[in-house]
């Protein structure tokens, strides 16, 4: 029966199809029907025109996908073509297959092989591997490197990044920073208890300060009220805001005028050069500290110091720090802000959270520890519900490293896969009342918990290339939100608004009204 199915598969070599079948069946309970596997070319999707392909669809004023932000573009493709969609014929770009079914997404993740290929921003690859190759010395990091180079780098940084003790090591400093942020909120409110419209800027400052504490062993002073415009801190804050906008413009807009591309590239290079400069400054300070410490002090070493000790080349620590900064500011800041916003718009849920926080933290000044964070089940459920409703990263990316079968279609090696988790997690078929903020659906005692397929909501990715900084991100987010709602009751008049610039950022004016809690 299998032999007959293989003979009918079509354009792929029979041995290739057997290998694809074996990988698939060993990883998933859902098996493809080899008698019905269809050629890659039959995957539904917009058909390219002769000579111009599909690029015209992204030309403003002409194409039907031109003026749609990412989530709307995915929704349009899903509505027109279904759960698996092929987009080809974009000059200079690989074919893309969009996956809008959690079983298809599971197939993709579980068949990604020993060295998963994750599509990343090409402009960042060009910067690290070409323009600044003398600086990076071949170490492109966990985000941009692929294949064996990725595995070699990840092996060098895994142990310091994933040690459970490090979460405890940073819990106190992260809580101290969160309490400093609370005092900043008190200073920023006006006489009516209202925060300024640009409060998001201060959340991003907190995120930069937090990740710098972990990645660079330093306090940059981002929460200080009177930093000079040309200070290192203010330059870093501006650069953070620009970098992801530049990545989105350069790598996710197929139609971009040459002069705009050149201007955007120049700004990106300036911003990334600044990150390199700052990172190396604090790497050298950490090296000097290590030289002055006694050999038996290694057990108290920070993540940065451990990376320096475990690896002969300090560039490994530097690149890891840069990856943490690039990946840990906008993501952490905007996810935190969205959770705060949902709670400010759902007073009943905010009250449940407050009662939990008051039970675990009888005093507002009590230090938050890893242990009492574990007792904050409703807090974690609120954050998970934000991941479901408005994930910061609306899709996951992979590239096929071998010929595989997904959804009974052949997909050859070298095709980019885009997994539309955001769209799926907001469909009624996966979560009842998807437009409502219901943290209770994530509590173990709730019977809805196990109804959704586990690959509908995967905020930190899955498998070998899942987010390496997850523990630190969760520590920062949980600690700040716990401090905010233990100290204040928040209100806001608008529903959530978002801006899709590679990441799905919160776009609301964050002029919350505060009322202090006892």
Is 63 within a domain? yes
Strands 409-411 and 416-419 come out as unpaired
Looking at the structure, tell me whether residues 294 and 363 fall in a common domain.
yes
Pairwise CA distance, residues 217 & 83, whole Å: 46
Pairwise CA distance, residues 99 & 474, whole Å: 27
Give the domain CATH number at 210: 1.10.630.10
Looking at the structure, tell me whether residues 98 and 145 fall in a common domain.
no
Looking at the structure, tell me whether residues 173 and 235 fall in a common domain.
yes
Domain end position, chosen among 126, 151, 179:
126
pLDDT at 96 over 70: yes
Over residues 67-85, the mean pLDDT reads 91
Looking at the structure, tell me whether residues 289 and 178 fall in a common domain.
yes
461-515 residue pLDDT tens: 999 999 999 999 999 999 999 999 999 999 999 999 998 877 899 999 999 999 9
Is 351 within a domain? yes
Predicted confidence at residue 34, as pLDDT, reads 66
Looking at the structure, tell me whether residues 119 and 160 fall in a common domain.
no
Q: Widest CA span of the chain, in angstroms?
A: 78
Pairwise CA distance, residues 351 & 362, whole Å: 15
Looking at the structure, tell me whether residues 228 and 175 fall in a common domain.
yes
User: What is the pTM (predicted TM-score) of this model?
Assistant: 0.90
Q: How confident is the model at residue 33 (pLDDT cuts 50, 70, 90)?
A: low
Of the candidate ranges 190-194, 242-246, 312-316, 412-416, the one whose mean pLDDT is the lowest: 242-246
Looking at the structure, tell me whether residues 329 and 272 fall in a common domain.
yes
Is 404 within a domain? no
Domain end position, chosen among 126, 156, 181:
126
DSSP assignment of 292-338 equals: HS-GGGGGG--HHHHHHHH-SSHHHHHHHHHHHHHHSSHHHHHHHHH
Cβ–Cβ under 8 Å, residues 329 and 207: yes
Token pair, residue 190, equals: 């006006």
Looking at the structure, tell me whether residues 453 and 501 fall in a common domain.
yes
Average per-residue pLDDT for the chain: 88
Looking at the structure, tell me whether residues 70 and 207 fall in a common domain.
no
Looking at per-residue confidence, does 187 or 113 come out higher?
A: 187
Token pair, residue 215, equals: 């990645």
Is 24 within a domain? yes
Tell which phi-psi region holds residue 414, choosing left (phi > 0), alpha (psi between -120 and 50) or beta.
Answer: left
Looking at the structure, tell me whether residues 476 and 436 fall in a common domain.
yes
Q: What percent of the chain has pLDDT over 90?
A: 67
Token pair, residue 102, equals: 């959690």
Q: Please, what's the b/e burial string for 463-483 (b: 16 or more CB within 10 A of its CB; e: otherwise)?
A: eebebbbebbbbbbbbbbbbb
Looking at the structure, tell me whether residues 95 and 155 fall in a common domain.
no
> Which residue segment(s) compose the domain that 79 sits in?
2-126
Strands 96-99 and 416-419 come out as parallel
Structural domain total, the chain = 2
Is 91 within a domain? yes
Q: How confident is the model at residue 245 (pLDDT cuts 50, 70, 90)?
A: confident
Domain end position, chosen among 62, 91, 126:
126
Q: What percent of the chain has pLDDT over 70?
A: 91
Please compute, for residue 303, the number of CA atoms within 13 A of its CA located in the half-sphere on the CB side.
32
pLDDT at 14 over 70: no
Torsion angles phi and psi, residue 335, rounded to 5: -65, -40
CA nearest 488: which of 171, 188, 172? Answer: 188
Token pair, residue 294, equals: 């006694």
Predicted confidence at residue 10, as pLDDT, reads 35
Pairwise CA distance, residues 181 & 454, whole Å: 35
């Amino acid at each position: 029966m299998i032999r007959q199915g293989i003979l009918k598969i079509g354009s792929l070599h029979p041995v290739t199809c057997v290998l694809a079948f074996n990988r698939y069946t060993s990883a998933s309970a859902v098996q493809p029907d080899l008698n019905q596997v269809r050629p890659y070319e039959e995957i539904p999707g917009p058909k390219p025109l002769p000579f111009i392909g599909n690029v015209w669809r992204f030309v403003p004023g002409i194409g039907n996908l031109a003026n749609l932000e990412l989530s709307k573009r995915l929704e349009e493709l899903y509505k027109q073509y279904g759960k698996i969609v092929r987009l080809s014929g974009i000059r200079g770009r690989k074919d893309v297959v969009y996956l809008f079914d959690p079983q298809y997404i599971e197939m993709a993740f579980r068949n990604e092989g020993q060295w998963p290929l994750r599509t990343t921003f090409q402009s960042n690859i060009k910067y690290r591997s070409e323009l600044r190759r003398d600086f990076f010395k071949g170490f492109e990091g966990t985000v941009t490197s692929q294949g064996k180079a990725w595995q070699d780098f990840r092996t060098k940084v895994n142990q310091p990044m994933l040690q459970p003790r490090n979460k405890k090591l940073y819990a106190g400093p992260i809580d101290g920073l969160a309490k400093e942020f609370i005092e900043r909120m008190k200073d920023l409110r006006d006489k009516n208890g209202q925060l300024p419209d640009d409060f998001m800027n201060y959340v991003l400052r907190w995120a930069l300060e937090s990740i710098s504490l972990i990645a660079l062993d330093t306090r940059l002073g981002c929460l200080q009220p009177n930093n000079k415009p040309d200070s290192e801190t203010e330059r870093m804050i501006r650069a953070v805001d620009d970098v992801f906008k530049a990545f989105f413009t350069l790598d996710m807009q197929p139609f971009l005028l040459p002069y705009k591309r050149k201007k955007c590239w120049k700004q990106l290079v300036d911003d990334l050069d600044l990150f390199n400069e700052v990172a190396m400054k604090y790497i050298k300070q950490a090296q000097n500290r290590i030289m002055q410490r006694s050999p038996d002090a290694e057990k108290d070493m920070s993540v940065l110091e451990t990376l320096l000790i475990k690896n002969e080349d300090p560039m490994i620590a530097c690149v890891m720090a840069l990856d943490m900064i690039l990946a840990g500011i906008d993501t952490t800041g905007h996810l935190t802000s969205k959770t705060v916003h949902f709670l400010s718009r759902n007073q009943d849920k905010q009250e449940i959270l407050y009662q939990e926080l008051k039970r675990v933290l009888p005093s507002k000044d009590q230090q938050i520890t890893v242990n009492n964070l574990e007792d904050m089940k409703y807090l974690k459920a609120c954050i998970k519900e934000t991941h479901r409703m408005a994930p910061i990263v609306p899709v996951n990316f992979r590239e096929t490293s071998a010929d595989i079968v997904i959804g009974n279609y052949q997909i050859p090696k070298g095709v980019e896969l885009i997994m539309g988790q955001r769209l799926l997690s907001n469909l009624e078929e996966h979560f009842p009342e998807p437009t409502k903020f219901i943290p209770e659906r994530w509590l173990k005692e709730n019977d809805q918990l196990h109804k959704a397929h586990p690959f509908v909501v995967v905020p930190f990715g899955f498998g070998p290339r899942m987010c390496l900084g997850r523990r630190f991100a969760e520590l920062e987010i949980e600690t700040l939100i716990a401090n905010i709602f233990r100290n204040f009751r928040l209100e806001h008049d608008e529903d959530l608004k978002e801006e899709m610039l590679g990441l799905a950022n919160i776009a609301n004016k964050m002029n919350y009204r505060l009322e202090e809690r006892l």
